[in-house]
Amino acid sequence: MDYTPQELDRKWQGRWAESRAFETEVDPSRPKFYCLEMFAYPSGHAHMGHVRNYSMGDVLARMKRMRGFNVLHPFGWDAFGLPAENAAIKHGVHPETSTRGNIAHMKGQLQRLGISYAWDRELATCDAEYYTWNQWLFIRMFERGLAYRRRSSVNWCGSCNTVLANEQVVDGGCWRCGTPVETRDLEQWFFRITAYADELLEETRALTKWPDKVLTMQRNWIGRSEGARIAFALAHDRAVPIDVFTTRVDTIYGATLVVIAPEHPLVARLADESPDPAAFRAEVQAFRLQDKAARMSGEVEKQGFDTGACVVNPFTGESIPVWVANFVLGEYGTGAVMAVPAHDQRDFEFATRYGLPIRRVIQPDADGDAHVEATGPLTEAFVDDGVLAASGPFTGLASEAARAAMTQHAATQGFGEGTIQFRLKDWGISRQRYWGTPIPMIYCERDGIVPVPDDQLPVELPAVTHFTGRGDSPLAQLREFVDVPCPTCGGPARRETDTMDTFVDSSWYFYRFADPRNARQPFDPAVVKYWLPVDFYVGGVEHAILHLIYSRFFARVFRDLGLVDHSEPFTQLLTQGMVLKDGAVMSKSKGNVVDPDQMLQKYGADALRLYVLFVAPPEGEIEWTDTGLEGSFRFLARTWRFVDHWCDRLVAADAGAAAGIEGLTEGERALRRKTHDTIRRVTADIEQRQQFNTAIAAMMELVNDLYAFGDATVTGAPGRRHEGALADERPQAIAVVAEAVDALVRLLSPFAPHMAEEIWERLGHAGGLSAATWPSFDEAVARADSLVIPVQVNGKLRGRLTVPAGTPEAELERLALADPAVQPHLAGRTIRKVVVASGRMVSVVVQ
């Protein structure tokens, strides 16, 4: 019977659907395993990255099922987002229509891959029954001060009249029309993720099964730094302070100016008070028009101007000027810094450019850099710690001690305090867009900001038929949506017309999967308690920061709402590498896209899945090659042929019989050893290492050995195996082959489930492989009974000993020294030392 994968794919996918093979229920009597791959944005077409992602998850899911776990393996759609709305603007197709169509198409593709999803639990974030819980949660967060509204600066395109996300700013201009982007202050909704900054940072330590790379990225992103906030009072109005944040309060005696960001709240007042307010404002505006990304990355030259105002250094009592400069960031710290040109490289460059004074207050300490001249002009800032000089009562202290003493002093005197600053900012979630979750808030002239009452949820997205891409959010143009009575006073009020960032949707979907049809709450806490946290989460490393930090944040919000009892939602994380073609990411514009559907048609799902797992370890990138895929297909066909050839005899055999049979030949014992060793390797590779490539290699070796064994036992004639000679078969040989094939099919089933199922059935098993158990191995059988021990002389390989396992070290040494291949290298020399690594190596040192 020939291997016809396309037929097997259809047959078994049909069976699985029919028998609801992968649907699952809470079952406290069994250990659970929650296996999750990041859900998909329904772009319309699955790509090879998806294939790889879902294949990895499926190996774990199917394997764990066979190991007796109650496996939750769901899938869904991250269905809101800009692309659908942009398509609507361009082609006039409603986002709802295109999204539903895309989901249907992609779902078909995934089903043709044979991934073992519990499709009953499928969800799409654009379903009102899902996003109503976004709104519910938003209101809970609002009640707790975790959702709040404030003005903030955003990217603004003056031509399109809309806010742009950072990613939509290309080379400083609007991605759509090219108009230079400006920053503009707008009222926006924020989630107070910074309330959890410390915890999110600290508890990265608990994530022992996450890649270091991701943890490092998260730690950098959160960016904790310890320092002090110091108030510099305005010289002409001592009631008004400019707060600065510094990690180097020990250098404060060297501060020769204070620099504030163009966005600083005091800028407006200082402009008014300046001799030429118009010129002042023009300068500030010029800074704000500079490309934000470039400004933040330091690609723009440091520029600034003197505001004319002065502040008083609270440590020295000295009056120093206040400047505005483009290199100070409004969003970090207090938006103001004390500039210490001698001890900060940026300040140094700035001071040098504008001829401002540079005052040294830190001297290198004894064991510091000796080459740093203690006096004379600086060519760069001295940024290391050292010993304080010219610093009043603090002179002579070491930097670290000085920081503590000076922070204490500031606190006692009431003009400062020790503080911890995070780089992480609160999460701005307002989007002036249609295709997202409406923010469930109402503005009333009398009652202010009022949440939509729970019993009026969801605030459904109204039907919009015309997308222009201009003006405010499309929702703002719908009178019948905007005009609403105030829930508190019943008077006229208006709805919030912004929608939520789609990262809100993806921050908790893994909870909803546990209880996806719950109409009364986001999920039943008892059900989530059983399934969560996710045991194994697979996705692209591009989500290392955004999605994975937001989800950790949401888990803590749910925890503090009393809905979950854990803090970390994902126990183990696997970040899979990209799929490249010709050294580049597959993309339509490059014309190097390989279509999964075509590959499925040609080679079947099993070969495609096997290939993307075999070609490299999971975290690495893979380079697509058609010949590689053919190789995986060949392996499957080769396996198929072997089983096909032996099938009748194997059906009659008992796979467990091999264990009890006496009188095996050396070849038969070797095959059993290989079988058991393969089980050991494949099990560990999947479960402990997630090295799918080496697991597959191990199975290939077993198949190669089976062919070699067939040669030896069936025909004794290499090259002519499949013909005649069946009379030679020993029952013992059939038993060990039956054992090997039985193990192989089970091991292969998470990788190539369709073929494995077919073989399983042909071997006479009923009930399907998902009901079968994972094979176990016998350590004693897997262990070799004879070993080849290499012998080195002076570090060079000179001979090999074949000895029974467990040969004592003294005997190994004796055999090594007597070995004819070793002898010539010992002749006429003195043996200084013999090292015997038991069971591994004999090493002789001669002189």
Partner RNA sequence: GCCGGGGUGGCGAAACUGGCAGACGCACGGGACUUAAAAUCCCGGGAUCCGCAAGGGUCGUGUGGGUUCGAUUCCCACCCCCGGCACCA
Backbone φ/ψ region at 650: left (φ over 0), alpha (ψ -120 to 50), beta:
alpha
What residues numbered 810-829 form the site for RNA, per CB under 7 A? Answer: 821
Asked if residue 631 binds RNA (CB under 7 A), the reply is yes
Asked if residue 248 binds RNA (CB under 7 A), the reply is yes
Binding test (CB under 7 A) with RNA, winner from 282, 374, 652, 837:
837
Indicate the pairing of strand 831-837 with strand 841-846: antiparallel
CA pair distance 287, 263, nearest whole angstrom: 9
Binding test (CB under 7 A) with RNA, winner from 798, 812, 819, 822:
798
User: Closest separation between CB of residue 684 and RNA, Å?
Assistant: 6
User: Closest separation between CB of residue 327 and RNA, Å?
Assistant: 3
Binding test (CB under 7 A) with RNA, winner from 121, 295, 543, 556:
295
User: Closest separation between CB of residue 364 and RNA, Å?
Assistant: 18
Nearer to RNA, 359 or 494 (CB): 359
Binding test (CB under 7 A) with RNA, winner from 630, 644, 811, 813:
630
User: Closest separation between CB of residue 99 and RNA, Å?
Assistant: 28
CA pair distance 807, 107, nearest whole angstrom: 59
User: Closest separation between CB of residue 272 and RNA, Å?
Assistant: 23
Backbone φ/ψ region at 743: left (φ over 0), alpha (ψ -120 to 50), beta:
alpha
Task: Report yes or no: 530 and 542 within 8 Å, Cβ to Cβ.
Answer: no
Q: In the structure encoding, which two tokens stand for residue 595, read together?
A: 């279509």
Long-range contacts formed by 765-773: CB under 8 A, 24+ apart: 768/15, 768/19, 768/21, 769/66, 769/745, 770/16, 770/21, 770/22, 770/62, 770/65, 770/66, 770/116, 772/66, 772/746, 773/66, 773/67, 773/68, 773/746
Binding test (CB under 7 A) with RNA, winner from 76, 95, 314, 335:
335
Binding test (CB under 7 A) with RNA, winner from 623, 654, 811, 813:
623
What residues numbered 342-361 form the site for RNA, per CB under 7 A? Answer: 344, 346, 349
Nearer to RNA, 449 or 797 (CB): 797
What residues numbered 2-21 form the site for RNA, per CB under 7 A? Answer: none
Q: How far is CA 367 from the centre of its chain?
A: 42
Asked if residue 212 binds RNA (CB under 7 A), the reply is yes
Asked if residue 408 binds RNA (CB under 7 A), the reply is no
User: Closest separation between CB of residue 731 and RNA, Å?
Assistant: 23
Give the contacts of 327 (CB within 8 A, at least 6 positions apart): 259, 295, 298, 300, 302, 304, 346, 350
User: Closest separation between CB of residue 158 and RNA, Å?
Assistant: 24
CA pair distance 426, 330, nearest whole angstrom: 14
Give the range of 99-107, 196-204, 515-523, 634-642 binding RNA by CB under 7 A.
Answer: 634-642
Identify the bridge partners of residue 788 per DSSP, sorted by sequence position: 802
Binding test (CB under 7 A) with RNA, winner from 158, 490, 492, 620:
620
Binding test (CB under 7 A) with RNA, winner from 113, 164, 193, 337:
337
Site string for RNA, 536-575 (x = CB under 7 A): -----x---x------------------------------
Question: Considering CB under 7 A, how many residues would be counted as binding RNA?
Answer: 90
Nearer to RNA, 472 or 623 (CB): 623
User: Closest separation between CB of residue 785 and RNA, Å?
Assistant: 14
Give the range of 308-316, 409-417, 440-448, 622-630 binding RNA by CB under 7 A.
Answer: 622-630
Asked if residue 65 binds RNA (CB under 7 A), the reply is no
Nearer to RNA, 653 or 696 (CB): 696
Binding test (CB under 7 A) with RNA, winner from 355, 796, 810, 820:
796
CA pair distance 295, 327, nearest whole angstrom: 7
User: Closest separation between CB of residue 693 and RNA, Å?
Assistant: 5
CA pair distance 75, 329, nearest whole angstrom: 41
Indicate the pairing of strand 147-157 with strand 182-191: antiparallel
Q: How far is CA 401 from the centre of its chain?
A: 40
What residues numbered 95-134 form the site for RNA, per CB under 7 A? Answer: none
Give the range of 175-183, 242-250, 386-394, 556-564 binding RNA by CB under 7 A.
Answer: 242-250
Q: In the structure encoding, which two tokens stand for residue 132, read together?
A: 């109503």
User: Closest separation between CB of residue 821 and RNA, Å?
Assistant: 6
CA pair distance 313, 241, nearest whole angstrom: 11
Fill in the amino acid letter for 761.
Answer: E
What residues numbered 142-201 form the site for RNA, per CB under 7 A? Answer: none
Nearer to RNA, 93 or 821 (CB): 821
User: Closest separation between CB of residue 801 and RNA, Å?
Assistant: 10
Nearer to RNA, 442 or 743 (CB): 743
Asked if residue 213 binds RNA (CB under 7 A), the reply is yes
Nearer to RNA, 368 or 469 (CB): 368
Asked if residue 327 binds RNA (CB under 7 A), the reply is yes
Q: In the structure encoding, which two tokens stand for residue 713, read together?
A: 């036992």
Give the range of 292-300, 509-517, 549-557, 659-667 binding RNA by CB under 7 A.
Answer: 292-300
Binding test (CB under 7 A) with RNA, winner from 166, 456, 625, 773:
625
Nearer to RNA, 488 or 715 (CB): 715
For residue 241, whether the previous peptide bond is cis, meaning omega lies within 30 degrees of 0, is: no
Asked if residue 806 binds RNA (CB under 7 A), the reply is no
What residues numbered 761-790 form the site for RNA, per CB under 7 A? Answer: 788, 790
Task: Report yes or no: 233 and 312 within 8 Å, Cβ to Cβ.
Answer: yes
Fill in the amino acid letter for 61.
Answer: A
Nearer to RNA, 301 or 318 (CB): 301
Task: Report yes or no: 189 and 148 within 8 Å, Cβ to Cβ.
Answer: yes
Question: Rounded to a whole number, what is the distance in angstroms from the first to the last CA of the chain?
Answer: 65
Q: What phi and psi, each to the nearest 5 degrees, are found at residue 207?
A: -85, 70
User: Closest separation between CB of residue 210 and RNA, Å?
Assistant: 11
What residues numbered 693-722 form the site for RNA, per CB under 7 A? Answer: 693-694, 696-697, 700-701, 704, 707-708, 711, 718-721
Instruction: Give burial (CB, 10 Å; 0-12/13-18/19+) of 176.
Output: middle
- Reported as type and span, the H/E element at residue 138 is helix 128-143
Q: Which residues of 282-295 are buried (b: 16+ CB within 10 A; e: fewer)?
A: ebbeebbebbbbeb
Fill in the amino acid letter for 524.
Answer: D
- Which of 40, 155, 50 has its CA nearest to residue 104? 40
User: Closest separation between CB of residue 466 and RNA, Å?
Assistant: 37
Binding test (CB under 7 A) with RNA, winner from 24, 407, 571, 792:
792
Asked if residue 609 binds RNA (CB under 7 A), the reply is no
Binding test (CB under 7 A) with RNA, winner from 684, 725, 817, 826:
684
User: Closest separation between CB of residue 402 and RNA, Å?
Assistant: 14
Q: Which residues of 515-533 are buried (b: 16+ CB within 10 A; e: fewer)?
A: bbeeeeebbebeebebbbb
User: Closest separation between CB of residue 549 and RNA, Å?
Assistant: 12
Nearer to RNA, 51 or 337 (CB): 337
Give the range of 28-36, 92-100, 548-556, 687-695 binding RNA by CB under 7 A.
Answer: 687-695
Nearer to RNA, 273 or 349 (CB): 349
- How large is the C-alpha radius of gyration of the chain? 35
Fill in the amino acid letter for 771.
Answer: A
CA pair distance 249, 415, nearest whole angstrom: 13
What residues numbered 420-449 form the site for RNA, per CB under 7 A? Answer: 421, 423
Asked if residue 641 binds RNA (CB under 7 A), the reply is yes
- Which of 685, 718, 723, 719 has its CA nearest to residue 701? 685
